[in-house]
């Protein structure tokens, strides 16, 4: 008489999993964890690709960085964008000491209309993330990117 060999439940589950026939059972110990809500700011109104194409983002190299007198948040930067050196005023003085920015590559909006701040003209805008506490974090690169390179 032949003996009947029965697989253990663990062996059956392993076989079902490898064959793609595994059945899911509701088990509190194996139930997936509930997603943790993350505070993400709402996305602004969507723009067309044509609108985005109007924005000229360039890689710039900070040549000069100094505090703007009587302004707690403003730095005056001179940024080489490959074809010229631009003066850009940036509200990053609370997050970055001027001397730490010299020689750093940054992303700037190169075709922004000039604007006067504290009697000085700013010819561009540095791109930075804004953290929940309001602290700016400058956009940068892991790879070596040439000054003046266009972002797209």
Tens digit of each residue's pLDDT (9 = 90 or more) over 48-67: 999 888 999 999 999 999 99
Q: Which residue has the tokens 């070596």?
A: 144
Full-model pTM: 0.69
Q: How many Å from the N-terminal Cα to the C-terminal Cα in the chain? A: 76
Residue at 76 is within a domain: yes
Say how many domains are in the chain: 1
Residue at 41 is within a domain: no
pLDDT at 43: 72
Residue 118 and residue 29: Cα distance in Å, rounded? 62
Q: Give the tens place of pLDDT for each residue, 94-151.
A: 999 999 999 999 999 999 999 999 999 999 999 999 998 889 999 999 999 999 999 9
Residue at 121 is within a domain: yes
CATH at 69 = 2.40.50.140
DSSP state string for 83-115? S-EEEEEES-TTT--HHHHTT-EEEEETTSPPE
Residue at 120 is within a domain: yes
Residue at 71 is within a domain: yes
Strands 57-67 and 75-80: antiparallel
Task: Supply the range of the domain harboring residue 121.
Answer: 49-151
Q: How many helices (H) and strands (E) does the chain have?
A: 3, 10
């Amino acid at each position: 008489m032949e003996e009947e060999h029965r697989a253990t439940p663990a062996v059956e589950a392993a076989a079902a999993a490898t064959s793609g026939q595994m059945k899911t059972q509701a088990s509190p110990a194996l139930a997936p964890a509930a997603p943790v809500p993350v505070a993400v700011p709402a996305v602004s109104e969507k723009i067309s690709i044509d609108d985005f194409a109007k924005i000229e983002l360039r890689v710039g190299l900070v040549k000069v960085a100094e505090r703007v007198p009587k302004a707690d948040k403003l730095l005056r930067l001179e940024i080489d964008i490959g074809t010229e050196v631009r003066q850009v005023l940036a509200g990053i003085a609370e997050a970055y000491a001027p001397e730490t920015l010299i020689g750093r590559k940054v992303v700037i909006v190169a075709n922004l209309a000039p604007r006067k701040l504290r009697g000085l003209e700013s010819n561009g805008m540095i791109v930075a993330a804004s953290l929940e506490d309001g602290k700016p974090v400058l956009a940068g690169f892991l790879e070596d990117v040439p000054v003046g390179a266009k972002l797209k």
